């Protein structure tokens, strides 16, 4: 998870590749919600803002994760 969050914090477009975060260990249900989240927005501005938000969220989740596992 740390490696994934680190890469997403650097490039927020990676989650849109459709590759599961945890590989085959967690099944992905490709339903209407999945289609809504991964579908084209049609707005370059919205896409850019979403990518920036994902980068910020990933970096903050990474900080929380590292604090939780710190010994």
For every residue of 9-34, which 3-state class applies, written as one string? Answer: HHCCCHHHHCCCCCCCCCCCCCCHHH
- Domain edges within the chain: 2-69
pLDDT of residue 71: 60
- pLDDT for res 34: 84
Write 19-22 long-range contacts (CB < 8 A, 24+): none
Tally the C-alpha atoms within 13 A of residue 49's C-alpha that lie toward its C-beta. 6
pTM of the model: 0.77
For residues 25 and 35, what is the distance between their CA atoms, to the nearest angstrom? 21
- The low-confidence residues of the chain, meaning pLDDT below 50, are none
CA 27 to mean position of chain CA atoms: 16
């Amino acid at each position: 998870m740390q490696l994934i969050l680190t890469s997403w914090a650097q490039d927020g477009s990676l989650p849109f590749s459709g590759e599961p975060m945890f590989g085959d260990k967690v099944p992905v249900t490709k339903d209407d919600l999945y289609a809504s989240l991964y579908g084209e927005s049609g707005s370059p501005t919205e896409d850019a803002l979403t990518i920036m938000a994902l980068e910020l969220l990933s970096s903050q989740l990474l900080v929380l994760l590292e604090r939780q596992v710190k010994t």
